[in-house]
Amino acid sequence: MVRPTFGIRLPDSGPLASLPNLITAARAAEERNFDAVWVHDRVIWGLEDHFSNISSGSAETLAQGQDPLFFESLTSLSYLAAVVKKVRLGIAVLIPPPRNPLVLAKQIAMVDVLSSGRLTLGIGVGLQSTSAKAFAQHGTPFEKRGEIVNEYLEAMNTIWSQPLATYHGKHVHFDDVAIYPKPSQKPRPLTLIGGASKAATTRAAKLGDGWIPGYLNPKEIEAGVKNLEEVAHTMGRNETSFQIVANTFASIDESSQTAWKNAELTIAKKLDAFQRKELFDETGSRFLIGSPSEMRIKIDAFLSAGVTQFELLFIYSSMNRLVEMLDTFEKTILTSYR
């Protein structure tokens, strides 16, 4: 079993999003020997999204009068590259449209250079329940999102590896483009494909370095890893060591009951936003919630399914509560896997 790595989602969106809180969370994670910090990604984000789709903080901190803040992912990580010096910087996950692919390739390369090769790039296509409206607002056909993202990935890989890049697809096309600097990581920043579907694992096998599904249980992840490896084998990618990242909510407390009480409202809102309320009864295996001993059992189940990294969406009603949980996690969990 490989040594797993652990990262946390920063408050780049949600009721506690702010620059001071971004800095506090990133520094707290690095000081407590976490391996990575992660941000989420959206361009268009309104009040309806703010009150239903919580990716950091907790539902209890929602209040009338809040702006629907959502810090742009790449510029945020560019700033944080100078704030924290050791942890990796991840995006889970960036949805390429509505960005121009040439500009996006340049921005990603720059973040990787500015962070000395610490960028982990998650790429997704978006869910019907949370992304279709935004796609319509910026004029991108949602039903074509899979093939559009595939072309973005192919085109950016060409830009990052070729002195003069040419690419012709249905949605992306350019000739003899020179974009420098190239990413510090070769041949590209570590690229993970988001999504829980078979199409996502197939995309990961063809165009990525790993897979980052959200809110799956170990059995579902194991099935996805099997498909990823089968597709990779048919393509001759037999020597590739894919990174498998579990994106999951987390709440830790010496009392399992307290850990669950602190998490339930936020999870209910999230699953409602995803239109997947039927998953709530299965959260015992999907999410890292409970006492330290319970959490270690759950982590081991994910590791047995093929997971190599965790992106933890801690649920917290204040920054002090987040730091308390990071302290507990370091003392009772991180030390067990070092």
List pLDDT tens digits, range 190-245: 999 999 999 999 999 999 999 999 999 999 999 999 999 999 999 998 777 899 99
Write down the domain spans for the chain. 5-337
- Residue 21, Cβ neighbours under 10 Å: how many? 19
What are the tokens at 63?
């209040």
Given a contact cutoff of 8 angstroms between Cβ atoms, the answer to whether 113 and 55 are in contact is no
Q: What is the pLDDT of residue 238?
A: 78
Q: What is the pTM of this model?
A: 0.96
Instruction: Give strand pairing partners of 122.
Output: 192
Give the C-alpha distances (Å, rounded to integers) separating 218 from 108, 127, 297: 31, 21, 12
Under a CB-based contact definition with an 8 Å cutoff, are residues 207 and 153 in contact?
yes
Hey, what are 286's tokens?
A: 């999907």
Rg (alpha carbons) of the chain, rounded to whole number = 19
Q: Look at residue 165 and tell me whether its pLDDT is greater than 90.
A: yes
What is residue 177's predicted lDDT score, i.e. its pLDDT? 98
Q: What is the pLDDT of residues 36-57, one digit of tens each?
A: 999 999 999 999 999 989 989 9
Least confident of 3-7, 49-53, 119-123: 49-53
Given this model, what pLDDT does residue 171 score? 96
DSSP SS3 for 209: coil
Distance CA 44, CA 137 (A): 8
Name residue, tokens 């590739």.
Answer: 240
How confident is the model at residue 134, as a pLDDT? 86
- Tell me which residue of 153, 39, 177 sits closest to 99, measured CA to CA: 153
The beta-carbon contacts of 47-55 under 8 Å, at least 24 apart in sequence, are 49/130, 50/13, 50/14, 50/15, 52/269, 52/272, 52/273, 53/130, 53/269, 53/270, 53/273, 54/14, 54/15, 54/266, 54/269, 54/270, 55/9, 55/13, 55/14, 55/270, 55/313
Residue from 229, 183, 174 nearest 206 by CA: 229
Q: Which CATH class is domain 5-337?
A: alpha beta
252, 263 Cβ separation under 8 angstroms: no
Taking only the tens place, the pLDDT of each residue in 54-113 is 989 999 999 999 999 999 999 999 999 999 999 999 999 999 998 999 999 999 999 999
Classify 41 as helix, strand or coil.
Answer: coil
Which pairs with CB-CB distance under 8 Å and at least 24 residues apart come from 293-299?
294/256, 295/250, 295/252, 295/332, 295/333, 296/333, 296/336, 299/4, 299/333, 299/337
